[in-house]
Structure 1
């Protein structure tokens, strides 16, 4: 079904794979052939430096939604923003509902609309489109690059190289700066064969994620889709696979394009944006994932990660064993916070689920929903616990589904059809009952991602599936069923795009700024607090210690109803690690008292008495450390933090609570590490085994001359765990650009731009 090549490969004429075993005879050198990837060509066209090993990228367009655009624009305003220098689209698909009551979310929307007017952007009102569907329909273009402040910014199937990053990277673009990265590796994804009837894009995506996530095969690399199987897939099918590439932890994606993608642009009235893309006649890839589409079966990603994959047939045939395995894995994810069992889902030898959802950028596409309607037509979901909801990804899709009768077929069967909204993907809306099991064609199934709250003893589970098998399960009234088991006539209805829907509702400044517009600030919208530059010497207290194999951004700052506070840095920070380590905020704020005293030119020991013996021990070796050259704050340790969302708040919340650093054995994504850097936090790495660390939660770590070490690009930074003695600890920062070092030295991106 899927094969990972151990070595790099040459792709000849787009069809022949030749593994690089060291004695391959091809007409080009490896370096020359590597320049024939589609990714290399696009990156070269957008690189503003002369060096293709150290890229400085300027994007064509930017996108943000209403969880992120307030913080981004506030940061840019504080750094000197005068107008948007490129098309910047502000969508409203995450905080579309006032989930916490009051005016918070709608105030954010008005902030976005007035900023779009003032600075020359676009504003998509709530319920019109989820961010990525609008980008596909209205923004993507062959050979273009788009940067979005959402991790699932992926439009590679349409020939657009797109990346999801934390907000500060968009701020840099708004201030006419660049996105600086090393030239990424490129991994070929060779598609062969053709999917069987009933198999959908989520099935293919989950199979690829299952094969590549845990081994890091495509981590921070570009996935380039090639091979004869690409032409067998519709545009919607390719889009459905592509959006899920984020869950492999790759950097970006790009696909070869053809007449089916040209038709997509034609349908949307943007024929001029199509560009044919193909790899060169001889192309070198750093690795290759071979995918036989014909062998892919309906898949399910069990809780609590998209890589925890099985075929549905395999699960149904081995229910007790697989459910027990999932329960054991959950002990790590849930930290024993709740009693967790799935055994009650076995009813008469079958697996029963309580909820099905098809939604968002992954599931809400036209073809997915049409197929679901074909499967459930003439059947019903019954009157028991099982519920079924469908969210078309945009109003134009919704309108066409109304016109062609798919909505009527779904609703007659008992389906609730809702507007374009991302809530089911991040825990805002459709939270099932305690201990219930939800199957979803959405993007993620991390703990709490559906809205349950472990700290309140509430837990439900999400599994990821394709829309077709979700509809088949709905037709069987909640008993897990692969779509391949259903005898269905798929109509294959043609899509017609109504451009007037957006023309009538979307505000488009056409790039013209109006400085006279007054920005509307709701009472929840707050400025970023002042942040200090990196001191000469640093003393940090470990206030949280996490030994899970991977820590997600959802655990660092929960999604769901907390998203309403994303416009209020201090208000949101109160939720930091609340579902992973509820005591974190209190510990961090206690240590922060010392730094606040320093900033007020007062003695930190007076503000935090526990510092006295710590400072006494430090002074035995470093008597000069103290007033004027010391910073005090907090740090967390996690084995591999940062998987999942691009949200910058996973880092900024730590920063506003006095965080100076993270310590990790590695960082799960470039996105999270960049967020730390952009908020002036040191992304420390330790080579110590996480089970045998020389420090523990509650310990103080002293880092003398840390500022000098950053300035001088030291490979190893000497630190000391402060106890009865100073116990030496070696830390590293990894590769940093000169600009990233300056940002850390200045204390955060805002300070950096004020100083430059």
Structure 2
């Protein structure tokens, strides 16, 4: 299903894999008629090219990055802008988008959330930013629809700032790094390693982007295989995935502890930009004829099964088959780990009481956010639920489309009516 290479790899013509072993030079010579050095071949990754074009240090081993665009939501932009103002901010030097999607209900602390929104609006007017009112879009969906661009780099004050599927290297950081960008400073890091995520095959029916992402997270989190590295998605399997599907996988790469992500792009991504009237932002991206990677995660999409992540991290994954076959043992293990994670003996944490007649029952369902609230994901849920009923007991179901354009299209095609009928 998933294989992690023990060594670095050379990728030839985007499809042929040559592991970096003692005879790799000879294999390269045979395939390409030349055997470029590792130092030369590492420049062939998509990530290297994008980093190089944004590096201002003149030294590719120690980067000083300036981002094309910035984005923050209403949990973080107040502190960021206040700090930048105290440090001499006069205007936003690059496009800075302020979304109001995390604290959009004025239900806690009186009007404190709406006060933050008005602060953001006033700053956008004063310093030249872009303000996204409440209930318009999740920060990342707005960025996908309106900010991403091929070969661009974005920095966001949110951990899941990932737009690699659209050809954009994006990173999530703490507020101080955005303050530095607002003050015309740089993002200073050593050149990150790049790991190829080679996709082949095609997902089975019933397997969605979250299943693919969870399978990868489960394979690489604990061993730190991609920690602080760039995940570069390549392989013949990429073309089998829709733009929405790729986005659903990409946004969850944060859970692997990687630094950023980037994907090869094609006509499906071009169509995404066309749909959002931003055709000029599309750029075809692919590795050079020979590219060197610090490692490779080989993923056969055809073998991935429906997955589930158990508390308390997305890497604690099982296939649904495994969970059903070993239900009580897995729940017992989760409960024991919870005692350590919660660090509070007064909490009686249990999941086994949710098992009835040998099956695990859930009390709430939520389809939402920058990963689950996508158009295709909600369409699939509506297709599954059509003609069924969730009942009038304790189970509740909430569905939150990731943006108003997504919501509008779901209304037009009837999926919202299907969901409301459940």
Fold equivalence (TM over 0.5) = yes
Given the alignment of the two structures, is residue 186 of structure 1 paired with residue 194 of structure 2, yes or no? Answer: yes
Q: Which residue of 1 aligns with 2:417?
A: 408
Q: Which residue of 2 aligns with 1:393?
A: 402
> Alignment partner for residue 69 of structure 1, among 44, 67, 77?
77
In the TM superposition, 1:331-342 aligns within 5 A as: 331-335=339-343, 336-342=345-351
Q: Which residue of 2 aligns with 1:92?
A: 100
C-alpha offsets along residues 11-66 of structure 1, whole Å, 9 cap, x if unaligned? 11111111111321222100111000000000000001110000000000000000
Q: Which residue of 1 aligns with 2:177?
A: 169
Given the alignment of the two structures, is residue 219 of structure 1 paired with residue 227 of structure 2, yes or no? Answer: yes
In the TM superposition, 1:21-100 aligns within 5 A as: 21-25=21-25, 26=28, 27-100=35-108
* Whole-Å separation in 2 of the counterparts to 1:255 and 1:289: 14
Equivalent pairs counted in the alignment come to 413
Displacement of 1:345 after TM fit?
A: 1.2
* Whole-Å separation in 1 of the counterparts to 2:350 and 2:160: 31
Q: Which residue of 2 aligns with 1:354?
A: 363
* Whole-Å separation in 2 of the counterparts to 1:191 and 1:153: 22
Which range is displaced more, 9-18 or 158-167?
A: 9-18
* Whole-Å separation in 2 of the counterparts to 1:207 and 1:356: 21
> Alignment partner for residue 242 of structure 1, among 245, 250, 253?
250
Instruction: Please list every run of 5 or more consecutive structure 1 residues that lacks an aligned counterpart in the other structure.
Output: 414-756
Q: Which residue of 2 aligns with 1:344?
A: 353
* Whole-Å separation in 1 of the counterparts to 2:358 and 2:152: 51
* Whole-Å separation in 2 of the counterparts to 1:179 and 1:74: 20
> Alignment partner for residue 378 of structure 1, among 387, 397, 418?
387
Q: Which residue of 2 aligns with 1:16?
A: 16
* Whole-Å separation in 2 of the counterparts to 1:139 and 1:50: 27
**Rg larger in 1 or in 2?**
1
C-alpha offsets along residues 126-178 of structure 1, whole Å, 9 cap, x if unaligned? 00000000000000000000000001000000000000000110111101111
Q: Which residue of 2 aligns with 1:524?
A: none
C-alpha offsets along residues 432-475 of structure 1, whole Å, 9 cap, x if unaligned? xxxxxxxxxxxxxxxxxxxxxxxxxxxxxxxxxxxxxxxxxxxx
* Whole-Å separation in 2 of the counterparts to 1:103 and 1:132: 25
Give the SS at the match of 1:194.
Answer: coil
* Whole-Å separation in 2 of the counterparts to 1:192 and 1:168: 39
Q: Which residue of 2 aligns with 1:149?
A: 157
Give the SS at the match of 2:407.
Answer: helix
* Whole-Å separation in 2 of the counterparts to 1:380 and 1:241: 29
Displacement of 1:242 after TM fit?
A: 0.2
Give the SS at the match of 1:214.
Answer: coil
In the TM superposition, 1:117-516 aligns within 5 A as: 117-335=125-343, 336-413=345-422
**Higher RCO, 1 or 2 (CA under 8 Å, sep at least 6)?**
2
Displacement of 1:318 after TM fit?
A: 1.0
Give the SS at the match of 1:356.
Answer: strand
Seen in structure 2, the aligned counterparts of structure 1 residues 282 and 337 have a Cα distance that, compared at 3 Å, is farther
Displacement of 1:337 after TM fit?
A: 4.1
Q: Which residue of 2 aligns with 1:526?
A: none
Give the SS at the match of 1:250.
Answer: coil
Q: Which residue of 2 aligns with 1:753?
A: none
* Whole-Å separation in 2 of the counterparts to 1:363 and 1:184: 29
Q: Which residue of 1 aligns with 2:32?
A: none
* Whole-Å separation in 1 of the counterparts to 2:24 and 2:103: 54
In the TM superposition, 1:667-682 aligns within 5 A as: none
Give the SS at the match of 2:419.
Answer: helix
- Please give the TM-score of this superposition, normalised by the length of structure 1: 0.54
C-alpha offsets along residues 600-647 of structure 1, whole Å, 9 cap, x if unaligned? xxxxxxxxxxxxxxxxxxxxxxxxxxxxxxxxxxxxxxxxxxxxxxxx
Give the SS at the match of 2:44.
Answer: coil
* Whole-Å separation in 2 of the counterparts to 1:270 and 1:411: 33
- Please give the TM-score of this superposition, normalised by the length of structure 2: 0.97
* Whole-Å separation in 2 of the counterparts to 1:60 and 1:350: 50
* Whole-Å separation in 1 of the counterparts to 2:389 and 2:15: 45
